[in-house]
Amino acid sequence: MLDRRKLLQYFAAGACVATAPRLAMAKADTDARLVLVILRGAADGLAMAAPYGDGNYDGLRGELALAKPGSEGGVLKIDGIFGLHPSFRGVHSLFEERQAILLHAIATPYRERSHFDGQDMLELGASPGNLLRDGWLNRTLRPLGSSVGDELAIALSQNTPLVLRGTNSVTSWAPSRLPDADDDTLSRLEDLYADDEFFATRLAQAMESQAIAGNMGNLRRRGNDAEQLKAALQSTARFLAVENGLRIAVVESGGWDTHANQGAATGNLANRFAALDEALSGLRDGLGSYWSNTAVLVVTEFGRTARVNGTRGTDHGTATAALLLGGAVSGGRIVADWLGLANRDLYAGRDLYPTTDMRSLFKGVLIEHLGLDDAFVERDVFPESGNAKPLTGLIRTM
């Protein structure tokens, strides 16, 4: 027979969630919303945002080169050098509304080509050799008032990603793999644990989370990566669009390792870009009025080789592109120290050369958007990163 603890664990999981955030939370020191989207597998920055105006682009990229703006399958023009992949129509609209910034030739300090190590460096916010063990976004939470039972950050994932792990309390949510419990069962559980504060609270939290997520909880992670990403960002919008609730969310998207048959304007990578674009549009729609005070970071652990490989794809590289989107963003522009794509300007003769430290982007967003103190960010969030100066002017001022 199941004891009462196991019984509750089974039904609470079946009813809704892996772990359950609360609705009634302590007020944070900021009303800003921040969403971090991690593209795991090393997304190709030269495909995401093509430097079509660079004279070496077409020859270097070969069959992966995108056509110029105005051509069939051509890039969506941002300026005379850069254009977005044609799948990013929603993101391009945000550029036209001055709510998006493209950051190019950007990278963490990591210079090897292991997905695991590269993702660790991205999420730790550290340099190679640094002994940090907690994620930079967890370190961010201390001055914002996050505590046990009053969490301000959520991972839309079965497991809390490294970027959110640490001493500050966070929560997570993901669709359950178990069948839903019916209303009668939940009612009986509420009665059963009415006098047990711990279990009654956990059940109430789970039911609240499910109410916020709505039918997103019914997907049970059976869809493909594109469907799961769309569902995760829809749920993100529901969790963040709550007064005095969550402020920060982390969403993961896998499958960006394009060693073979990558495609150009169409194909495997183009389909992934289209799914990401649709998911980001859904996030904006779901946030409603909260979008005006939201910033969304879209990042990946490193880029890919500039040239096509023998299997019509690209291999692990160095610099890539990142996106900063949102109603709070002072956008419509590119941030890039662009060296170019001549052979002499490639990193190790094969990769886009990194000229902007990813931590400079993170620092700028934390300082300007979340209102964190510069000294705290430098000392506690990104220690030993003095060479990575915070980017400025990323967030609009009232």
Say which residues have a Cβ less than 8 Å from residue 241's Cβ, sequence separation at least 6: 286, 287, 288, 290
The SS3 of residue 295 is: strand
d(CA 31, CA 287): 13
What CATH number matches the domain at 4-381, 3.40.720, 2.20.28, 3.40.50, 1.10.540?
A: 3.40.720
Q: What is the mean pLDDT of residues 93-106?
A: 98
Residue 66 has pLDDT above 60, yes or no: yes
How far lies 144's CA from each of 30, 177, 296, 371, 376, in Å?
Answer: 7, 33, 18, 10, 12
Residue 25 has pLDDT above 50, yes or no: no
Q: What is the mean pLDDT of residues 284-289?
A: 98
Domain ranges of the chain: 4-381
The pLDDT of residue 325 is 98
Six-digit token pair at 391? Answer: 């980017």
- Smallest CA-to-CA distance from 369 within 398, 343, 332, 344 is with 398
The pLDDT of residue 150 is 77
The pLDDT of residue 2 is 37
The pLDDT of residue 6 is 40
- One-letter identity of residue 122: L
Q: Report pLDDT digits (tens) over 193-234.
A: 777 766 666 566 555 555 555 555 444 444 588 889 999 999
Least confident of 25-39, 55-69, 73-87, 226-240: 25-39
d(CA 386, CA 384): 6
